[in-house]
Amino acid sequence: MEKQQAIDEQLRKYFPDLPSGPLDNYRKKASFDWRRMKLVYDSLNTIKLKHDVWSFMEGHPLFKHTEATRELDDERHITTKRMYTIYNEQFLRFEKIAEDPKAFQAESEALFMFDSSLAVKVSLTFRMFSNAIQGNGKGHHYHLIEDVEKAKIGGCFALTEVSHGSNAKGMRTTATYVPEKRQFVMHSADFEAAKCWVGSLGKCATHAIVYAMLISKGKNHGLHTFVVPIRDPKTLKPYPGVIVGDLGEKIGLNGVDNGFVMFNNYHLPKEAALDKLGGVNDAGDYETPFRDPNKRFGAALGILSGGRVHITSISTCYLQKAIVIAIRYSAVRKQFGPENAAEETPVLEYQQQQIRLLPYLAATYAMKIFSVWLSFTHINMAISNFMGDDKNAAARGIELHALSSAVKPLFGWTSRDGIQNCRESCGGHGYLKAAAIGDLRNDNDANCTYEGENSLLLQQSSNWLLNVWARRNTLTPDDSPLNSLQFLDNVDQLLKEKCSWKTVEDAVDPTNLIKTYKWLTAYMLKMTSEKVAALKSQGKDNFAAKNESQTFNAVTLSIVYGENYVLNHFYKSAVEYNDVNCRVVLLKLVSLYGAFLLEKHLATLYIGGYLSGQQGALVREGLVRACAAVTPDAVALADTLAPPDFCLKSVLGMADGEAYKHIQSSVMTYPGSMTRPEWWRDVVYWQSYAPSKL
Amino acid sequence: MEKQQAIDEQLRKYFPDLPSGPLDNYRKKASFDWRRMKLVYDSLNTIKLKHDVWSFMEGHPLFKHTEATRELDDERHITTKRMYTIYNEQFLRFEKIAEDPKAFQAESEALFMFDSSLAVKVSLTFRMFSNAIQGNGKGHHYHLIEDVEKAKIGGCFALTEVSHGSNAKGMRTTATYVPEKRQFVMHSADFEAAKCWVGSLGKCATHAIVYAMLISKGKNHGLHTFVVPIRDPKTLKPYPGVIVGDLGEKIGLNGVDNGFVMFNNYHLPKEAALDKLGGVNDAGDYETPFRDPNKRFGAALGILSGGRVHITSISTCYLQKAIVIAIRYSAVRKQFGPENAAEETPVLEYQQQQIRLLPYLAATYAMKIFSVWLSFTHINMAISNFMGDDKNAAARGIELHALSSAVKPLFGWTSRDGIQNCRESCGGHGYLKAAAIGDLRNDNDANCTYEGENSLLLQQSSNWLLNVWARRNTLTPDDSPLNSLQFLDNVDQLLKEKCSWKTVEDAVDPTNLIKTYKWLTAYMLKMTSEKVAALKSQGKDNFAAKNESQTFNAVTLSIVYGENYVLNHFYKSAVEYNDVNCRVVLLKLVSLYGAFLLEKHLATLYIGGYLSGQQGALVREGLVRACAAVTPDAVALADTLAPPDFCLKSVLGMADGEAYKHIQSSVMTYPGSMTRPEWWRDVVYWQSYAPSKL
Ligand SMILES: Cc1cc2nc3c(=O)[nH]c(=O)nc-3n(C[C@H](O)[C@H](O)[C@H](O)COP(=O)(O)OP(=O)(O)OC[C@H]3O[C@@H](n4cnc5c(N)ncnc54)[C@H](O)[C@@H]3O)c2cc1C
Ligand SMILES: Cc1cc2nc3c(=O)[nH]c(=O)nc-3n(C[C@H](O)[C@H](O)[C@H](O)COP(=O)(O)OP(=O)(O)OC[C@H]3O[C@@H](n4cnc5c(N)ncnc54)[C@H](O)[C@@H]3O)c2cc1C
């Protein structure tokens, strides 16, 4: 009791009362404490960390937004300055991560909530570079980690080439060992072999982690990593032999200077090879601690799994911002109403508005809780790998790989669709740049592509699941330390069951939803496995059989597997949450999220014979009702999720709910908005450049 | 035969052979003549018109693209100059539209293919303004039409207000008649009553069509139109009493200057009222040729239906460009391949790539054919209304309203999803601004909102359908001159039927698909009607009952009604097409499109009892196979749809298929791409602005 009081006091300190205004009505209706709800995914520690970062930004002139979009070069400039400024503050020292592994995700979230380009730049320049050296390098490389930690040099990560991205094995950058000189000669045969898309390489990076084919004594030993000097850290001029440039404008993330680089017989000392996992000795003979070369390749690419984990959390941040904007605006936007009503109705009250927003509000909670946990789990794994104290590290690693390969696409796509719904739900004003939803969409778009194109990544999970299916009768808990295979318990029995729902209530009961998901996941796995087998029995090789069992099979399987895990995790977190009012609302969100997910798979449930008759209609009715049930709490749920106004920077979504006032102030102060254009003569005297034929 | 030769010759003249290169392989596989296929939606006349417009642009310096996005003001400037330059050429004189009503859509398409902002500006400044005066004004207003046709003045269309858009009846701009002065006083009470989002008002327009509440003798007569001088055509300075400004940046369409305006007791002569359909006499007494005031309101808003028709065609143009880019790029992008294969496989060959693109390729054909027809039908209607020679004009108008209210959202959303799939299917390079897909997405986004927010527009169709359902047993062909109610033939019998498919072939047979769609449309209408009735019998009023029957009922109904019509129209056009090779391919596209549409409604078909057992799985398998069947023709189908390269302006989608060369040239010539940033010191000496704590 006293403890709760102390916590509440802390929360109040970080989150003072929200400004009174048009949102008061909804806030009064809330059935729970919006501050306490934060602790379902945050801790006082992570809250404090984010608060520190945001307070610093709020007081610093570099972190003020401009009305008009900057030109590309200016955008890069300010993002770079912000990067050094924020990095220099060291909000999260390495030691602190070990103390509270959740701090890592929290700091990243604080940056993403402010500006995604900034967050990406920090992560590429400092973190990814250090991690790559830590993971693939030896003692004599560690001075580079010190340099980058001191920001004397800046890193980047160069895997993708112009003509090869997903198919890393097809890459064509070569590093040929010359034993006489103890050097590697790095070379790009043509522009198609240029490294490209490399974030922070366009303008800034001094060093790159480069993946190249290691060639020695005429033999190609496959892809290896090298740390390659690109620009002189004192002048930022590229070294001779390095042709480096910027990719120009992108759909989003324009503060990040994505670049390309070609190497023209560029000589590197032998020490450039990050050869902990394999490389040549001075004589040019190949040596590796791995017996199976595939294992080395896997381990070398292993560094990428952290990226996927990170992206589940990035996607969540984008959706989180969009949903806050759309919910708050829908609560103050009034349009139409019953005949003779004194006031128009907030559009949030309309069924068709609810169905487009509230499932994504529920999804945001599910995703937030899950992504915080995933990041925490990933870091804990890294720590225990480092300590060597996890006996089951390999199985855990593989399962995490499969799970993150499913959830990264799932979250990228959920955010994509959710943000789009938010955009449209805000009507005309949602199309304002100043509403901020368009930029969220543009930035999130990249999440569907980098760190593994979504559709391809799903193949990683399904491959593992198919493998698991074959040995489903001999699985032990050790095969699934994260418990993502729980749906295989008693699977043969399970698949014989049929759905027993009779009422709308049945259809949205969390435990029923979870049971159905279990069935669905198992069914999809069985179907996919049978499909692959059928294709093979028609004489197709593995490559063809795998390709031709993607649509409606393997792809759906991986998505369902991810959804199943996230739904279960959400339910568990809700049931266990200590605050009773919050718990009641969380369980409503679980129902809503579950019914929303399931509705998309109704056809499969019928095809599989699990559902029959009108049961699908019960889910739909249940979903609509679950939306209505959450509506009175929607604004408070958005308040819980909302970052500070200066991060949200949306005229529609501010905490005070004064959308029209913010629109007015924004349009009236937009540079030049009220003045006659300088080129007014080209309107009045258009015949001066187009002699009239009219 | 000879005639065909002459046609082929003409086609060759307009469309010379495409450049040889990486796309040759696929082009050789094509089973039909890509030039002849154009005539399924175009005529030699419309082809010539588009050719003329494009040739003019291609030879004119103003129509050259820049690498870097222009600043907002520059973008407006060049769009305005292009507008006058192209309008001045008078590619389509009024007389020619009557000669060939298809020319209207063709000219607009030519502009949209080049730049959407340009097309929108032309349409708002000249066409919409003239139409509004024609429709609502009297003889003494026609001098304004002459002025705008001579481009002495420029128009815009001001309906939306800051706090009221969809709910036009709630608008608050007032025009109060003062009989002593024979004047109206136009006033905006506050910023929330400001007209906003008005295209071309931000910087350019001299006159606006303004919708305001007409008040006379203390009585509010509802929304009426006025033609209001905004800026002096000689100086472009706003008149006193007019506070006009620009909305600033938007998500897309940034060449268009959307603006807002507030009137401060602004005096207008009585002649400002466009009072053909109703208004006050000199004494201030209200007079109207309509007996029912709702009819006047309907007629006054009637002008908007042309906008919806127009948007079906705009959405189609956007998707058309995106799909051309993605198909061509997927044909040249190779990644992975069977073990030991000499070459990697074009990604277009992968099932999961096909399912994301080919249904949208089919959809583009369906949409193209339909939107050309819809525009033609709409213009013919306008002409015969003008002539007064259509005895069934009222019914035709109502049906067109319902149909376009369904199809405008359907097409906006299909383009939205298709463009997004194109974006993702192009992997990393699809995220380049120079790939051009991002801008298509941003521009199309507005299609979901303006001229009626999609979700709300669907309610217009469903309202009409519900009304029709009630009198389904007494309908005559006169009720449905466009034949969109054909699904109601024998409906009671129809709804008793069950699906009889047994094979995958059955499931994608066009006539079977069409039959199923008929059932589905009828079923959705019946269900929605029963839902509304059930809600009313629970005591809900009409407003509540309509609102609570949207999700999974009325909204789906309208979409299905639109899909049904478009699918039937596509099938008819395919079957009747004279070229046999083209016909075969078109019928494959009909199968693909039909199966694609139907797959989304499988659950409903099970719930309704039409499908049972594994029939849904047959549709899915059929869909996947239909994709594979279209793949060899996909590039040629894209060639048919492709505008000239300078319109497409995508490094990934050029006709020569040399994606990598165009990427190289684009990134290497992007301003500043290869140079050290001016701000390099802020990287090297970052401590100068952030004293190091590291
Ligand atoms: C903003 C951004 C930042 C980036 N930053 C970096 C960075 O810092 N460093 C770096 O190295 N890279 C970076 N990348 C590159 C990124 O990792 C790749 O673009 C991504 O991995 C996708 O690869 P790709 O472009 O080769 O796609 P492709 O493989 O060419 O994909 C094209 C299409 O083909 C399909 N396809 C390919 N193979 C198959 C198959 N076997 N079966 C079915 N379909 C298939 C894909 O699903 C996709 O639809 C970045 C990219 C972006 C957009
Ligand atoms: C690029 C662009 C150009 C434009 N050009 C012009 C122009 O030239 N002239 C002009 O006058 N206007 C213009 N507009 C304005 C446009 O017509 C309106 O924005 C559009 O009609 C939508 O209205 P709204 O903004 O009021 O949306 P709102 O009605 O506020 O919609 C917000 C949300 O509420 C929902 N909603 C509202 N009522 C209901 C209900 N009863 N039931 C269920 N849901 C409901 C909507 O579906 C939507 O999701 C333009 C807009 C844009 C974006």
Instruction: Give A29-84 pLDDT, tens digit per residue.
Output: 999 999 999 999 999 999 999 999 999 999 999 999 998 999 999 999 999 999 99
**Ligand 1, atom 24: nearest CA belongs to which residue?**
A165
Contacts B541 to A, Cβ<8 Å? 338-339
Q: A377-416: per-residue pLDDT in tens? A: 999 988 887 777 777 888 888 899 999 999 999 999 999 9
d(CA B43, CA B225): 38
A652 CB-near residues (< 8 Å, 6+ apart): A325, A326, A328, A329, A426, A429, A430, A432, A435, A436, A659, A662, A663
**Ligand 2, atom 32: nearest CA belongs to which residue?**
A427
- Residue B345 assigned to a binding site: no
Give the tokens for residue A413: 């796509």
Q: A447-478: per-residue pLDDT in tens? A: 999 999 999 999 999 999 999 999 999 999 98
* Percent of all residues in chain A with a pLDDT value above 70, rounded to a whole number: 98
How high is the mean pLDDT of chain B? 95
Do B525 and B466 contact (CB within 8 A), yes or no?
yes
Of chain B, the end-to-end C-alpha distance in Å amounts to 83
Sign of the Cα pseudo-torsion (B582, B588, B591, B597, in order): negative
**pLDDT exceeds cutoff 80 at A615:** yes
DSSP A299-333: HHHTTHHHHHHHHHHHHHHHHHHHHHHHHHHHHH-
**pLDDT exceeds cutoff 70 at B594:** yes
How high is the mean pLDDT of chain A? 95
Output A582 or B300, whichever has higher pLDDT: A582
B556 close to ligand 2 (CB < 6 Angstrom): no
Taking only Cα atoms into account, the Rg of chain B, rounded to an integer number of angstroms, comes to 27
Contacts B244 to A, Cβ<8 Å? 674
Contacts B80 to A, Cβ<8 Å? 679, 682-683
pLDDT at residue A673 in the model: 95
**What would the mean pLDDT of B358-369 be, rounded to a whole number?**
98
Residue A534 contacts B, CB cutoff 8 Å = no
Alpha-helix residue ranges (DSSP H) falling in B210-303: 293-301
**Looking at A229-238, A397-406, B176-185, which range is the least confident one?**
A397-406
pLDDT at residue A447 in the model: 97
What is the distance of C-alpha B176 from the center of its chain?
37
**Ligand 1, atom 26: nearest CA belongs to which residue?**
A165
Option in A81, A151, A448 nearest B424 (CB):
A448
pLDDT at residue A112 in the model: 98
Residues of A annotated as part of the active site? 451
Q: Is A667 helix (H, G, I), strand (E, B) or coil?
A: helix
Q: Do B249 and A432 touch (CB under 8 A)?
A: yes
Q: How far is the CA of A94 from the centre of ligand 1 (A)?
A: 31
pLDDT interval class at B302 (50, 70, 90): low
Sign of the Cα pseudo-torsion (A507, A510, A516, A521, in order): positive
Q: B116-164: per-residue pLDDT in tens? A: 999 999 999 999 999 999 989 999 999 999 999 999 999 999 999 999 9
d(CA B299, CA B228): 20
What residues pair up with B279 in beta bridges, in sequence order?
A: B287
Of chain A, the end-to-end C-alpha distance in Å amounts to 83
**pLDDT exceeds cutoff 80 at B295:** no
Question: Which regions of chain A carry the CATH code 2.40.110.10?
Answer: 157-289
Query: Which architecture does CATH list for B157-289?
Result: Beta Barrel (2.40)
**pLDDT exceeds cutoff 90 at B459:** yes
Q: B330-362: per-residue pLDDT in tens? A: 999 999 999 888 999 999 999 999 999 999 999
In terms of residues, how long is chain B?
A: 694
pTM of the model: 0.98
**What would the mean pLDDT of A626-634 be, rounded to a whole number?**
98
**Ligand 1, atom 34: nearest CA belongs to which residue?**
B347
pLDDT interval class at B165 (50, 70, 90): very high
Q: B90-122: per-residue pLDDT in tens? A: 999 878 888 899 999 999 999 999 999 999 999
A353 close to ligand 1 (CB < 6 Angstrom): no
Q: How far is the CA of B629 from the centre of ligand 1 (A)?
A: 26
Q: B37-51: per-residue pLDDT in tens? A: 999 999 999 999 999
Do B457 and A435 contact (CB within 8 A), yes or no?
no
DSSP H or E stretch at residue B582: helix B580-599
B596 CB-near residues (< 8 Å, 6+ apart): B359, B362, B363, B623
Chain A: give the shortest CA distance to residue B161, in Å. Answer: 10
Question: Which regions of chain A carry the CATH code 1.20.140.10?
Answer: 484-641
DSSP H or E stretch at residue B223: strand B219-229
Option in B338, B673, B684 nearest A248 (CB):
B673
**What would the mean pLDDT of B4-23 be, rounded to a whole number?**
97
CA distances from A272 to A261, A263, A286, A663 (A): 17, 14, 16, 54
pLDDT at residue B96 in the model: 84
**pLDDT exceeds cutoff 90 at B390:** no
Closest residue in A to B694 (Cα) is A150
Q: How far is the CA of B671 from the centre of ligand 2 (A)?
A: 38
Please choose from A323, A330, A345, A350 the residue to mutate so as to test ligand 2's pocket, defined by most ligand atoms within 8 A of CB.
A350
**pLDDT exceeds cutoff 90 at B383:** no
Residue A438 contacts B, CB cutoff 8 Å = yes
Q: Is B539 helix (H, G, I), strand (E, B) or coil?
A: coil
Other CB atoms closer than 10 Å to residue B512's CB: what's the count?
Answer: 20
Q: Do B192 and A150 touch (CB under 8 A)?
A: no
Contacts B245 to A, Cβ<8 Å? 667-668, 673-674
The residue type of B424 is E
Q: Which residue, chain included where needed, has tokens 């001579």?
A: B150
B160 secondary structure, DSSP code: -
- What is the four-CA torsion angle of A325, A327, A331, A336, rounded to 10 degrees? 100
Characterize the bridge pairing of strands A174-178 and B207-216. unpaired
pLDDT interval class at B279 (50, 70, 90): very high
pLDDT interval class at B397 (50, 70, 90): confident
Query: Which architecture does CATH list for A484-641?
Result: Up-down Bundle (1.20)
**pLDDT exceeds cutoff 90 at A94:** no
Q: A509-545: per-residue pLDDT in tens? A: 999 999 999 999 999 999 999 999 999 999 999 999 9
pLDDT at residue B391 in the model: 76
Contacts A196 to B, Cβ<8 Å? 428
**pLDDT exceeds cutoff 60 at A303:** no
Q: A210-222: per-residue pLDDT in tens? A: 999 999 999 999 9
Q: Do A356 and B455 touch (CB under 8 A)?
A: yes
A243 close to ligand 1 (CB < 6 Angstrom): no
Do A236 and B676 contact (CB within 8 A), yes or no?
yes
pLDDT at residue A297 in the model: 61
d(CA A229, CA A239): 8
- Residue B449 assigned to a binding site: no
Q: Do B673 and A245 touch (CB under 8 A)?
A: yes
Q: Which residue, chain included where needed, has tokens 């207000």?
A: B161
φ, ψ of residue A289 in degrees (nearest 5): -70, -10
Residue B217, CA atoms < 13 Å, CB-side half-sphere:
8
Chain A: give the shortest CA distance to residue B431, in Å. Answer: 6
Q: B508-544: per-residue pLDDT in tens? A: 999 999 999 999 999 999 999 999 999 999 999 999 9
Q: Which ligand is nearest to the CA of B435?
A: 1
φ, ψ of residue A609 in degrees (nearest 5): 80, 10
Q: Which residue, chain included where needed, has tokens 């969380």?
A: A586
Q: ipTM for the complex?
A: 0.98
Say whether B451 is catalytic.
Answer: yes
pLDDT at residue A313 in the model: 97
* Percent of all residues in chain B with a pLDDT value above 70, rounded to a whole number: 98
Characterize the bridge pairing of strands A219-229 and B266-269. unpaired
**pLDDT exceeds cutoff 70 at A302:** no
Characterize the bridge pairing of strands B207-216 and B183-187. unpaired
Q: Which residue, chain included where needed, has tokens 């009892």?
A: B609
pLDDT at residue A641 in the model: 98
CA distances from B229 to B131, B153, B155, B279 (A): 17, 10, 9, 19
Do A76 and A255 contact (CB within 8 A), yes or no?
yes
